[in-house]
Structure 1
Amino acid sequence: MLCFFVNQSMAALIFSRFFFLLLSLISLTDGGSIGINYGRVADNLPAPKQVVDLLKSQGITKVKLYDTNSDVLNALAGSGISVVVTLPNEQLSSAASSQSYTDKWVQSNISPFYPSTQIEAIAVGNEVFVDPANTTSFLVPALKNVHSSLVKYGLDSSIKVSSPIALTALQTSYPSSSGSFKSDLAGPVITPMLQLLRQTGSYLMVNAYPFFAYEANSQQISLDYALFKPNSGVVDPNNGLRYTSLLEAQLDAVYAAMSALQYSDVPIVVSETGWPSQGDENEIGAGSANAAAYNGNLVKRVLTGGGTPLRPKQDLNVYLFALFNEDQKTGPTSERNYGLFYPNEQKVYDIPLTVEALNGSSSSSGSDNINDGSKAVVKDQSWCVANENAEAEKLQSALDYACGEGKADCRPIQEGATCYDPNTLVAHASYAFNSYYQVNARGAGTCDFGGAAYVVTQPPQFGTCEYPTGY
């Protein structure tokens, strides 16, 4: 397959150049948001004021708490960081049974801090459906009472109410289009909760962990698919949509379940997701390299914009789990090793968390800068390759642009040249995309081409052709 750029009209070239430059600009300015969960089940964490300084130093502007600790909320005052607070599960029964209880709770836990502390939402409970205390029946009444209390004190227009659900609330999650809620939850709990979220302009909080699915099904699930790395993807047989990340497939299963209940207009916020940097021997996939890859690639996916295959126009908004490793959490080793930071504020691994950091990063893999707590391993090489799942017309158009106005060096892929073989569109496009990427100093947005390309951190393997890493 040859590069047909010589005979293109000047108008087409100008349009193509404008189109791809526009995509590059949009990809890093119109994305979703990244927040982080600040859990405190530990006895060695820095003081709240130090934590706020850490958040600000990392450019993190959204944080989620698991309570309404006054020291933390006071430390966050005037910081510019928006906050989601939580009414814990153990208070759901009281909140459900008494409006006066939620009135007092709002007066004690919200009003004294807002608006100096930018409280944007209240999580009423957390994964209530799997709470051993069996608090499910209290959830909807508690949600309604908390919202009514916000209305009473004039806070409802600024502060939303919601409740994080785990994916175990789904009866069916594969394929994504067949997603459905468990029958004992759908009617009595999910439907009235979604109705309240719709009425109040709120969103459904979803805790989603591809790690758990991969750990339990590592023989069937590709690790690259779980880590947002380039892969051939999974096609939903019911609607033909192709998924190249497990998280997006999980979220679309929730969207499908909501649609089945006629609540497709309620948005989702990912209130928890993450990957452990350490685990027990049987916790397949746990490790710092995979954790860095998952979180790093997820951050790029969020910040570059776009939604899931089922909701492509709705940007992803995500809270990573978690800020710190928490030494007093019970359960397997992984539970104590989800943090991006050690309690001494050193990074467990280094990933970009903001658009600015992403612009300055040399790779999008999320696994290039890994800190195991003692020695940093840094790689600075990356390549750009074609997305084999992109439509041939899109690949060819991007190839023509790269070799034409993009000024990539495409001589080696002309017939008879060193990199002509293998003579395939994907191989030729990969060479051209990589040349363009390297010529432009591996800048952010220069390996996208409208979704036709990916950044990789291993040299591409197409025949015996060598792909350059710089010019």
Structure 2
Amino acid sequence: MSKLKLVSLLCFFLFQSVYSLDDYGSIGVNYGRVADNLPDPSKVVDLLKSNGITRVKIFDADSSVLSALAGSGIGVTVAMPNQLLSAAAKDESSTDAWLKSNIVPFHPKTKIEAIAVGNEVFVDPQNTPYLVPAMKNMYNSLQKLNFSSDIKVSSPVALCALQSSYPPSSGSFKSDLIEPVMKPMLSFLQQTGSYLMVNSYPFFAYEANTDTISLDYALLRPNQGVKDSGNGNVYKSLFEAQLDAVHAALDALQFTDVKVVVSETGWPSAGGDKEFGAGADNAAAYNGNLVRRVLTGGGTPLRPNDKLNVFLFALFNENQKTGPVSERNYGLFYPNTNKVYDIPLSLDALNSTMSDPANGSKAQVPVASPPVNDGGDLSPSPNGHTWCVANAQAGQEKLQTGLDYACGQGGADCGPIQSGEACFDPDTLQAHASYAFNSYYQKMSRASGTCDFGGAAYVVTQLPKMGNCEYPTTRG
């Protein structure tokens, strides 16, 4: 191969990688340390890097952890513990001192991206009045250091802050929180360009409602979905339903432009006798399917153009956590750094990992890689166009369901795949579904979330061509 061709190929694949990272959401991980058997922070950084994890969230601002992360390029969210909120709320001298001790010695060599002021503060009503003043003082102190453009200020909110969450369109915050806390906090986030952190655990909802919630729905496995009686949206996962309940609550308060980051979510790999659903297979399915969902693009039904940015909980099993058995078994890794179960945690790993249909624990398809195309060819797109193609790994039933929707309710132009027309050959379900999926995707202006069809489709950056049929790149 000539050097010119080699350089061209390298540039093309680099373009694919950059496109994918920019276009899709991100996966981070919570690095909790309530344990007496965890590896040294320097080894933890090696573990993060070897698994392609580029974002991490810690529950304090531990100097040994921040020192180990220096120069790694890994984005870090640090936390001010709840017990410091009252002092931080009184005046800026407290937040000035906290930043001087915990941030200034490390940033920017350690890439600190955000400060979580407290954690699930509303669970303890005594701390609730201090939250917004503490956040404002933290931001003002960051401004003095010229860090406010680099480091966002937010605070993780538990779903118990919602008064209503079902159906998702009825989502609303608790009435006693709206005026004193939620409106001022959301106004602050809006003014500073920050985002709302939300801790979302479908496991808890499933565990408490196994008689009414499908396990497939909770684990992001293929299912018939649940229709929102308020707006007609169909949800294929409890995760997205929970997230849209938060979005609906934001919309109800007229904060439609405030983004949401899922600061915690996960599924335990072990639990007690009455912790229904806890187990390694289910944990692998939930986290693996969620990673795929995030890294293959698309938002939620209420926010289809918003990227999903998620921090999994947690990096390690933590043996000193109190409470039920599950609390000590959320880790992706054992303290010896062996995986509890094998799932991809990055786009590169997702690209190179094929699915395990039996438990959904791995990515269903490679992302931005050529589909099986019945003997056709693929040509690189010179101008950044993308197309939507069928995922052969999804199975015949899901492909047919997606095809029926695209050509029916979806309004795709399926005339060319009818018998005797230009795109009828090759006469296979995958080829016809690919054409229909792409027609719908282009019709929807390639908006995020319009190339999914319940996992039956994915986006590629190369022009599909099956037989003599060329795929459109516009609405037609």
Shorter chain as denominator, the TM-score bin is: 0.7 to 0.9
Query: How far 1:395 moved relative to its partner?
Result: 9.7
C-alpha deviation, 1:83, in angstroms: 0.3
2:100 maps to 1:107? yes
- Matches for 1:36-435 after TM superposition, within 5 Å: 36-131=29-124, 134-363=126-355, 367=359, 382-385=393-396, 386=398, 388=401, 390-393=405-408, 410=428, 429=429
Q: CA deviation at 1:153?
A: 1.2
- Structure 1 Cα separation of the partners of residues 152 and 353 of structure 2: 35
User: Given residue 113 of structure 2, which amino acid in structure 1 is its aligned partner?
Assistant: E
Aligned-partner Cα distance in 2 for 1:27–1:384: 25
| Distance in 1, Cα, partners of 2:283 & 2:415 | 33
SS of the residue corresponding to residue 334 of structure 1 reads: helix
Cα-Cα RMSD: 2.9
Change (3 A) 1:287 1:399: farther
Q: 1:209 to 1:335 in 2, by over 3 A?
A: same
Render the CA deviation track for 1:96-121: whole Å, top value 9, x for unaligned: 11210110001111111000000010
SS in 2 for 1:42: coil
| Unaligned stretches of 5+ residues in structure 2 | 1-15, 363-391, 435-448, 458-476
TM-superposed CA distance for 1:391, in Å, is 4.0
List per-residue Cα deviations over 1:267-293 (Å, max 9, x = no partner): 000000000000011011110111000
The equivalent residue for 2:10 is none
Q: 1:84 to 1:113 in 2, by over 3 A?
A: same
Match of 1:376 in 2: none
24, 32, 52: which one aligns with 1:31: 24
**1-structure distance, mates of 2:450, 2:168:** 27
Check the 8 A contact 1:384/1:454 in 2, yes or no.
Answer: no
Instruction: Report deviation, 1:362.
Output: 1.3
Deviation per CA, 1:102-148, whole angstroms, max 9, x where unpaired?
100011111110000000100000000113x7211110111011111
- Shift of the alpha carbon at 1:258? 1.0
Give the structure 1 partner of residue 374 of structure 2: none
Contact 2:407 2:414 in 1 (8 A): no
| One-letter amino acid of the structure 1 residue matched with residue 316 of structure 2 | F
CA–CA separation in structure 2 for the residues paired with 1:305 and 1:398: 24
Give the SS at the match of 1:165. Answer: strand
User: TM-score, length-normalised on structure 1?
Assistant: 0.78
1: CA distance between counterparts of 2:38 and 2:424? Answer: 50
Change (3 A) 1:382 1:452: closer
**1:432 deviation in Å?**
6.9
Mapped contact 1:46–1:344 kept (Cα < 8 A): yes
Contact 1:122/1:160 (<8 A) preserved? yes
Per-residue displacement from partner, 1:219-259 (whole Å, max 9, x unpaired)? 11111111111111111111111111111111111111111
Alpha-carbon contact 1:85-1:121 (below 8 Å) kept:
yes
CA contact (8 A) 2:286 2:361 kept: no
Report Cα offsets for 1:8-32 as digits up to 9, x if no partner.
Answer: xxxxxxxxxxxxxxx9x97786210
Counterpart amino acid of residue 275 in structure 1:
W
How many aligned residue pairs are there? 393
Give 1:136's aligned amino acid.
Answer: T
Q: Which amino acid aligns with 2:395?
A: C
AA matched with 2:333: F
Percentage of identical aligned residues: 60
Residues 340, 349 of structure 1: 8 Å contact kept: yes
Q: Give 3-state SS (helix, strand or coil) of 1:154's partner.
A: coil
Cα distance, 1:454–1:257 mapped onto 2, change above 3 Å:
closer
For 2:293, the aligned partner's letter is: R
Instruction: Give CA-to-partner distance per residue, 1:408-435, whole Å, 9 cap, x none.
Output: 663xxxxxxxxxxxxxxxxxx479769x
Q: Deviation at 1:452? A: 3.4
User: Following the alignment from structure 1 to structure 2, what is the Cα–Cα distance between the partners of residues 453 and 233?
Assistant: 9
Q: Which structure 1 residue ranges, 5 or more long, are not aligned?
A: 1-22, 371-380, 411-428, 435-447, 457-471
Distance (Å, rounded) in 2 between the aligned partners of 1:188 and 1:35:
31
Aligned with 1:450: secondary structure?
A: coil
The answer (yes or no) to whether the contact 1:228–1:294 under 8 Å persists in 2 is yes
Higher relative contact order, structure no. (Cα contacts within 8 Å, ≥ 6 residues apart):
1
> For residues 365-389 of structure 1, what are the alpha-carbon distances to aligned partners after superposition, in whole Å with 9 as ceiling and x for unaligned?
594669xxxxxxxxxx955342636
Alignment of 1:445-456 (within 5 A): 450-452=451-453, 454=455
